[in-house]
Chains A and B, each alone.
Chain A
């Protein structure tokens, strides 16, 4: 990359980037705290992560204008790891996640993104929205009306305020207003302070205090793998959205490596794993941010806010954060898919529902994506495994029949294909025309072998014609019928 591009990426839009970065920093605070609480860690872990990731991505990310920080998708994957093994294992898993993501970036795995069907991606965001929403429900248990009123109040501010002003992010205003009310009314509702300790200190570099052995690796590896897949999936999806919003291209493999580096840094500085955020990136671009400077501003300004308002953070009522998370979940859910579900191809709708169902059942986004991808692969195989065989009798001195085969011959289609022939029919000569077909594997070759040899058993001559280059190479290598045939011809 040459100097002028770097300059453009950093300083092409200074005013817009600094303004948008400031807005994003303000909008990040409530989410970073709430996602920490979902993961079951101290709010500082999410705030440090958001600072580290936003700042590092500003330098090494592949998509200028995209905002990365602590996210709900990642937080949801960490719950059991934190509950069973504690924060130190989470930090180690975060570092390992970064390493895996760098490896994925080096091997250019972004190109496999195109194999993930859109119904799986829609299922992914919908499941994420549902999980964020359900993760808020426990906060209502054992609460009384002041808490409910605060949640409703927060939501009212979030949705009504933007009609009058969009200068300050509405969720932040909601948090501030509800906190002030809670402090002055002395309502005694649960606050962030009740969920964990907030320490006022800059993040420091430290190694996770865990035993460095195989047992540790066995614990953290499955989590790290799920985190790296989900992180990259959401980052690539966000990058596509930012690409579309800004009408520019971005380097997805560079982004994968960047996400990896950011997570490694986050892990060493006491932060949890994160990824790109759809909501925040949209806010950033809408507020006029498009360069690397906006992510840097967001990170740095976030740190300043944490240092300055540290004492106040502990007093934020949980009710306000619950309101923000409900807003995030409503914003994440793809409402279009509900409207168009009955219009989608039946198989797409099933894949979507299975993806969502798997995630809601297992609480693991990566399992839902896996289930969705496997199911759509099966549906795809089923769809292209329809092979059409058309028989034409050719009049002449000999009774000749031509079979025209149309479709893809592979393991899933051969059974029906072979069944469509009647080997005992009364003909002298059979021609199999494969000019509209393609052979993919051993099963296809085996099927042709079987058909030809069966006809021969019944004293019917068979010719195989019209194979394309790849298919005839396969026949040459693997088929039996033509070899014995060649022998017979020599005799």
Chain B
């Protein structure tokens, strides 16, 4: 059984499809808990700080991106927690998954960044290579 499920999300369409798969993994398991992990890198930090009045607004705008995912989780009545991490997306997700003994990582195959799309979602690649747990890459 997968009890500790890590769902990597940036609020993109790919991530929302990943959320649906994470839900089906958790379905019917009362012990399942989904950790929704959202990673903020340097470029994102700069943009978010520029576009918001203060740190409270920054926090709110990030949580807003995950609203749809959150609604799905609430609707399915599954335990979840939202974690906002700082750093490079790939290594941060791997570090969190390994340190917190996750049973499985669920991640969308492509994120929002068009440059990274060219190399077919390098974040999911990095996670698949380096995480110690099984990784599900959702197409």
321-373 of chain A: CB within 8 A of chain B: 334, 336-337, 340
Q: How far is the CA of A481 from the CA of B50 in the complex (A)?
A: 49
By a CB distance below 8 angstroms, the chain B residues around A121 are 50
Name 8 extra pairs, CB < 8 A, besides A118-B53, A241-B49, A334-B51.
A237-B50, A240-B55, A241-B45, A244-B49, A244-B86, A245-B86, A334-B47, A337-B51
A285 contacts the other chain (CB 8 A) = yes
Given A244-B58, A244-B86, A247-B86, answer yes or no on A336-B45 (Cβ-Cβ < 8 Å).
no
Q: How far is the CA of A359 from the CA of B49 in the complex (A)?
A: 21
Chain B interface helix/strand/loop/mixed: helix
A335 closest partner in B (C-beta): B47
Q: Mark A108-152, 1 if CB is under 8 A from B, else 0.
A: 000000100110011001000000000000000000000000000
A246 contacts the other chain (CB 8 A) = yes
By a CB distance below 8 angstroms, the chain B residues around A237 are 49-50
B129 contacts the other chain (CB 8 A) = no
User: Can you list 18 A-B pairs with a CB-CB distance of less than 8 A?
Assistant: A117-B53, A122-B50, A125-B50, A237-B49, A240-B49, A240-B55, A244-B40, A244-B49, A244-B86, A245-B40, A282-B45, A285-B42, A286-B41, A286-B42, A286-B87, A334-B47, A336-B51, A337-B51
CB distance from B110 to the nearest CB of A (A): 17
By a CB distance below 8 angstroms, the chain B residues around A285 are 42
A433 contacts the other chain (CB 8 A) = no
- Give the one of A117, A240, A340 with max B CB within 10 A: A240
Chain A interface helix/strand/loop/mixed: helix
By a CB distance below 8 angstroms, the chain A residues around B88 are 286
Q: Mark A272-305, 1 if CB is under 8 A from B, else 0.
A: 0000001000100110000000000000000000
By a CB distance below 8 angstroms, the chain A residues around B75 are none
Contact indicator A334/B50 (Cβ below 8 Å): yes
B71 contacts the other chain (CB 8 A) = no
132-176 of chain A: CB within 8 A of chain B: 163
Q: How far is the CA of A243 from the CA of B58 in the complex (A)?
A: 12
Q: How far is the CA of A241 from the CA of B51 in the complex (A)?
A: 11
Q: How far is the CA of A334 from the CA of B40 in the complex (A)?
A: 17
Interface residues of A (CB under 8 A from B): 114, 117-118, 121-122, 125, 163, 237, 240-241, 243-247, 278, 282, 285-286, 334, 336-337, 340
Contact indicator A282/B42 (Cβ below 8 Å): yes
B101 contacts the other chain (CB 8 A) = no
Contacting residue for B54 out of A114, A125, A246, A247, CB 8 A? A114
CB distance from B55 to the nearest CB of A (A): 7
By a CB distance below 8 angstroms, the chain B residues around A282 are 42-43, 45-46
Q: How far is the CA of A340 from the CA of B55 in the complex (A)?
A: 20
Q: How far is the CA of A97 from the CA of B139 in the complex (A)?
A: 55
Q: How far is the CA of A336 from the CA of B46 in the complex (A)?
A: 11
B77 contacts the other chain (CB 8 A) = no
Contacting residue for B46 out of A114, A117, A278, CB 8 A? A278
A336 closest partner in B (C-beta): B47
- Give the one of B41, B46, B53, B55 with max A CB within 10 A: B46
Contact indicator A244/B55 (Cβ below 8 Å): yes
By a CB distance below 8 angstroms, the chain A residues around B49 are 237, 240-241, 244
B122 closest partner in A (C-beta): A163
B52 contacts the other chain (CB 8 A) = yes
CB distance from B112 to the nearest CB of A (A): 11
By a CB distance below 8 angstroms, the chain A residues around B40 are 244-245
B42 closest partner in A (C-beta): A282
B58 closest partner in A (C-beta): A244
Contact indicator A245/B42 (Cβ below 8 Å): yes
Contacting residue for B52 out of A118, A278, A334, CB 8 A? A118
Q: How far is the CA of A125 from the CA of B43 in the complex (A)?
A: 14
Q: How far is the CA of A237 from the CA of B58 in the complex (A)?
A: 14
B48 contacts the other chain (CB 8 A) = yes
A121 closest partner in B (C-beta): B50
A282 closest partner in B (C-beta): B42
CB distance from A172 to the nearest CB of B (A): 19
Contact indicator A244/B54 (Cβ below 8 Å): no
Q: Mark B75-119, 1 if CB is under 8 A from A, else 0.
A: 000000000001110000000000000000000000000000001
CB distance from B32 to the nearest CB of A (A): 28
Q: How far is the CA of A411 from the CA of B118 in the complex (A)?
A: 57
CB distance from A406 to the nearest CB of B (A): 25
Given A245-B45, A245-B86, answer yes or no on A114-B53 (Cβ-Cβ < 8 Å).
yes
B54 closest partner in A (C-beta): A114
Q: How far is the CA of A285 from the CA of B54 in the complex (A)?
A: 21
Contact indicator B48/A244 (Cβ below 8 Å): yes
- Give the one of A114, A245, A247 with max B CB within 10 A: A245
21-46 of chain B: CB within 8 A of chain A: 40-43, 45-46
Given A243-B55, A246-B86, A286-B88, answer yes or no on A118-B50 (Cβ-Cβ < 8 Å).
yes
